[in-house]
């Protein structure tokens, strides 16, 4: 099958590379050419436009930063969807809000293209090592078609339900992730204020059953004051904004996630947006 991958950022470039390691017939496209050129050296075919990238593809994967970028590349006049062939499958791995995924399903259907939402759990190392977890929403038979390729890029594929349910579940995961980071940071800062040794706190708290497991990795970032990006703080803020938008659509209060979102916004104002999301700790300090 001919596969195309759109979006070669921190995650997408590594996901595409894992497809290449499995000898997939892969075409890649990125708005800035440098990441595509790097994959071309590894055996990918690089395209200079999304039109050419998707026109022969049986399956198109996209991994893009925001719903607005997805829409601009696929739905705007004479963009990607208009050039995809009949019965091709578009798999969007971007983190977007559920209502947006359903909107993309409708747009794809107008052009006789099948849509699946398949956002991922994991950060840069998981993408690099093929250890992502995919949360998939879509028709079962088409999920079976794409599953072998998902397994090349990840360690687990979870079919959550219909289109939009993958995005829904990913939204919940990131709401938990964002808030857990704030809770952990707040506990560390309070511990220091009452006279406990910071190193003791960083060594001990992540190993308690009450702590989120991922804090073991973030504790070393706090210890070294080195927030080399694994998951950009600015995208965590974006994901919290999508969660509050979804809550608004369902007329559902979202008390703590909204407060957490404002802390991440303040971190962006302080210039931490391009750092790892663990840099929210610097605001709480």
Same domain? 125 vs 79: yes
| Per-residue model confidence (pLDDT) at position 54 | 97
Determine the average pLDDT of the residues in 40-58: 95
Whole-number percent of the chain with pLDDT over 90:
98
Q: Are residues 183 and 262 in the same domain?
A: yes
CA 11 to chain centre: 7
pLDDT (mean) for 167-179: 98
213 plus 81 within the same structural domain: no
Per-residue pLDDT, averaged over 166-187, amounts to 98
How many domains are contained in the chain? 2
Of 162, 188, 203, which residue is a domain's last? 162
Residue 278 and residue 233 share a domain:
yes
User: Which tokens sit at 108?
Assistant: 């794809």
Average of per-residue pLDDT across 11-16: 97
Are residues 157 and 202 both part of a single domain? Answer: no
Note the pLDDT tens digit of each residue in 202-246.
999 999 999 999 999 999 999 999 999 999 999 999 999 999 999
Segment 51-74 shows an average pLDDT of 97
Which pLDDT band, with edges at 50, 70 and 90, does 157 fall under?
very high
Claim to verify: residue 202 and residue 144 sit in the same structural domain? no
Contact at 8 Å (CB) between 12 and 63? yes
pLDDT in tens, 88-106: 999 999 999 999 999 999 9
- Are the beta carbons of 78 and 109 closer than 8 angstroms? no
Give the span between the Cα atoms of 243 and 107, in whole angstroms: 22
Range of the domain at 254: 168-284
8 Å CB contact between 132 and 230: no
* Judgement on whether residues 178 and 150 belong to the same structural domain of the protein: no
Instruction: Give the domain CATH number at 106.
Output: 3.40.50.720
Evaluate if pTM is beyond 0.85: yes
The H-assigned helical ranges of 60-120 are: 67-74, 80-83, 98-110
pLDDT at residue number 26: 98
- Which helix (H) or strand (E) covers residue 280, if one does? helix 280-284
**Domain C-terminal end among 105, 128, 162:** 162
Q: What is the pLDDT of residues 74-85, one digit of tens each?
A: 998 778 999 999
How far apart CA 101 and CA 118 sit, in angstroms, is 10
Q: What is the pLDDT of residues 236-280, one digit of tens each?
A: 999 999 999 999 999 999 999 999 999 999 999 999 999 999 999
Specify the 3-state DSSP secondary structure of 95: coil
> What whole-number distance in Å separates Cα of residue 18 and Cα of residue 128?
8
Tell how strand 25-29 and strand 45-46 pair up.
parallel
Q: 85 and 188 share a domain?
A: no
DSSP designation for 85: P
Planar angle of CA 65, 32, 95, nearest 5 degrees: 10
Same domain, 141 and 39: yes
Q: What percent of the chain is predicted at pLDDT more than 70? A: 100
Domain CATH number, residue 261: 1.10.1040.10
| pLDDT value of residue 188 | 98
Shared domain check, 141 and 63: yes
Q: Given a cut of 90, is residue 164 above it in pLDDT?
A: yes
Q: Which helix (H) or strand (E) holds 203?
A: helix 198-204
Contacts of 42 (CB under 8 A, 6+ apart): 17, 20
Question: Among the three residues 122, 140, 162, which one is the final residue of a domain in this structure?
Answer: 162
Q: Do 185 and 143 belong together in one domain?
A: no
């Amino acid at each position: 099958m001919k596969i195309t991958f759109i979006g070669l950022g921190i995650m997408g470039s590594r996901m595409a590379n894992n497809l290449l390691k499995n000898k997939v017939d892969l075409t890649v496209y990125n708005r800035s050419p440098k990441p595509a050129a790097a994959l071309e050296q590894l055996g990918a075919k690089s395209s200079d436009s999304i039109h050419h990238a998707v026109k022969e593809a049986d399956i198109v994967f996209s991994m893009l930063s925001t719903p607005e970028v997805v829409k601009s590349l696929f739905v705007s006049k004479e963009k990607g969807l208009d050039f995809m062939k009949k019965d091709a499958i578009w798999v969007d791995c971007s983190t977007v809000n559920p209502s947006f995924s359903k909107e993309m399903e409708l747009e794809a259907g107008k052009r006789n293209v099948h849509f699946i939402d398949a956002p991922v759990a994991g950060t840069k190392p998981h993408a690099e090592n093929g250890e992502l977890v995919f949360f998939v929403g879509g028709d079962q038979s088409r999920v079976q078609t794409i599953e072998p390729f998902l397994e090349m890029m990840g360690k687990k594929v979870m079919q959550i339900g219909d289109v939009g349910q993958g995005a829904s579940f990913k939204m919940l995961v990131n709401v938990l992730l964002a808030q857990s980071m704030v809770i952990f940071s707040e506990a560390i800062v309070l511990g220091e204020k009452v006279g406990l040794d910071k190193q003791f706190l960083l060594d001990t708290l992540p190993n308690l059953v009450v702590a989120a497991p991922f804090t073991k990795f973030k504790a070393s970032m706090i210890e070294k004051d080195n927030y080399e990006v694994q998951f950009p703080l600015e995208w965590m803020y974006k994901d919290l904004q999508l969660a509050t938008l979804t809550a608004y659509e369902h007329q559902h209060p979202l008390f703590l996630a909204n407060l957490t979102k404002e802390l991440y916004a303040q971190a962006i104002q302080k210039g931490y947006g391009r750092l790892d999301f663990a840099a929210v700790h610097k605001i709480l300090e």
